[in-house]
A and B are shown apart, each in its own frame.
Chain A
Amino acid sequence: MNCIIIDDELTSRIILNQHCSGVSDLDVIEEFSNAIQAMKFLNANEIDLIFLDIHMPDFSGFDFIQTLKNPPKVILTTSDKGLALDAFEYDCIVDYLVKPILFPRFEKAVEKARSFSQRDNSKAEANNSGSKSTVTTNEFYVNIDRTLIKIDTDTVNVIEAKGDYIFIKTTAKEYKVHTTLKKIVDKLPPNVFLQVHRSYIINLSRIVDIEDNSILIDKDVIPISRSKRPELMRRLNLV
């Protein structure tokens, strides 16, 4: 992957450069102390990843992203712990690193950027070939009280929408998240999950049984919409 670093502070750029040199397939193409220079560069060059400081004179990192038509993957770097929630508004932001940035955390963020890029490429390939995409990561993150919690999709039984929240019921616990089913459905592997009702997405592999218009998953009885039933039946390995 090739990347650029945007940060008005030399100390931060030196640290990021050093960390980048510790990742074999990550090349720093250019570094910038201000956002305007970086914009000009991005108009003429294609890159995979930006390490972007949020606090810069004249331009915030978020303002910068909004100026880009097709932003590459972005890893935010900041001394502020309180802006993670804002980062969720942008699809291109894959991680959020709080300074001082230590290498293990940096490496994890790069790995995440890599897997997001691979997922995007696979989706694009699947779309290009006209087939339905079945590729997504096996995990997703939810923001609960400003903490990003990783959820393994394999552990999810049911996701239920209630008002402004969704309830993600996993084998271990239940998470209440302020979002919509529509937003989370894209994060789930479509070959495993199916929306069976306006308010429910289920993990097909967790079905215990199906009776009339309801599905039993663990101890939950999930209603099936009439309109969703044909798709559910098609997806079952029916004898």
Chain B
Amino acid sequence: MEQPNLSNIQSIARGSKDFELKLLNVVKEELPTEIDAFEKYIKEGVYDKASEMVHKIKHKISLLSMEQSYYTAEEFENELRNNNPNLLMDFEEILKKMRIFLQRY
């Protein structure tokens, strides 16, 4: 099962530990807000708005080097636009992994 890692963030930081930490902190700060908004829109059945939040979260998924999950999120984003939330459980699993991973930092 795919796990998040820091390799993309480290590539972006190009050796700067300060920037690596700064970026991680911003991701930690932004992600919960985006997840909250996503969950709210799902609950309300406003799938096009939920899709927009998945789009934002997708960037964070790629930052945490979760390639397979990225494609799942991409599919979910497209399906939500067509009012289809079938991949919700898969996506929630991805969010859970990200949350657990970010708690370490």
A residues apposed to B, CB below 8 Å: 8-12, 14-15, 18-19, 22, 55, 57, 79-80, 99-103
- B14 adjacent to chain A (CB < 8 Å): yes
A79 touches B55 (CB 8 A): yes
Query: Which of B38-46, B59-67, B87-95 makes up part of the contact surface?
Result: B59-67
Chain B, Cβ-Cβ closest to A14? B26
Q: Interface residues of B: mostly helix, strand, loop or mixed?
A: helix
What residues make up the interface of B, taking CB atoms closer than 8 Å to A?
8, 11-14, 16, 19, 22-23, 26-27, 29-30, 52, 55-56, 58-60, 62-63
Given A18-B19, A55-B52, A57-B52: A12 touches B11 (CB 8 Å cut-off): no
Say whether A22 contacts B62, CB under 8 Å: no
Q: What total of A-B pairs shows CB separation below 8 Å?
A: 49
Please determine whether B60 and A102 come into contact, CB atoms closer than 8 angstroms: no
Question: 28 A–B contact pairs at CB < 8 A?
Answer: A9-B56, A9-B59, A10-B26, A10-B29, A11-B23, A11-B26, A11-B27, A11-B60, A11-B63, A12-B59, A14-B26, A15-B12, A15-B23, A18-B12, A18-B16, A19-B12, A55-B52, A55-B55, A79-B55, A79-B58, A79-B59, A100-B8, A100-B12, A100-B62, A100-B63, A102-B8, A102-B11, A103-B11
Whether A9 pairs with B19 at a CB distance below 8 angstroms is: no
> Is there an interface contact between A103 and B62, defined as CB atoms closer than 8 Å?
no
Q: Whose C-beta in chain A lies nearest to the C-beta of B58?
A: A79
* 16 new A-B contacts at CB < 8 Å, known A11-B60, A14-B23: A9-B30, A10-B29, A11-B30, A11-B63, A12-B59, A14-B26, A15-B23, A18-B12, A18-B23, A22-B14, A55-B52, A57-B52, A79-B55, A102-B8, A102-B11, A103-B12
Q: Report the separation of the CA atoms of residues A18 and B15 in the bound assembly, to the nearest whole angstrom.
A: 12
Contacts of B19 in A (CB 8 A): 18
Q: Which residues on the B side are within 8 Å of A8 (C-beta)?
A: 56
Query: Is the CB–CB distance between B62 and A79 below 8 Å?
Result: yes
What is the CA–CA distance of A19 and B16 in the complex, to the nearest angstrom? 12
Residue with the greatest number of chain A CB neighbours at <10 A, chosen from B12, B19, B27? B12
Q: Please report the C-alpha to C-alpha distance between residue A122 and residue B59 in the assembled complex, in whole angstroms.
A: 38
Taking the nearest CB of chain A, how far is it from the CB of B21, in angstroms? Answer: 12
Rounded to whole angstroms, the CA-CA distance of A67 and B48 in the bound complex is 25
Kindly state the separation between the CA atoms of A79 and B57 in the bound complex, as whole angstroms: 10
Task: Give the Cβ gap from A76 to chain B, nearest Cβ, in Å.
Answer: 14
Shortest Cβ distance from A106 into chain B, in angstroms? 9
Given contacts A15-B12, A79-B55, A99 and B26 within 8 Å (CB-CB): no
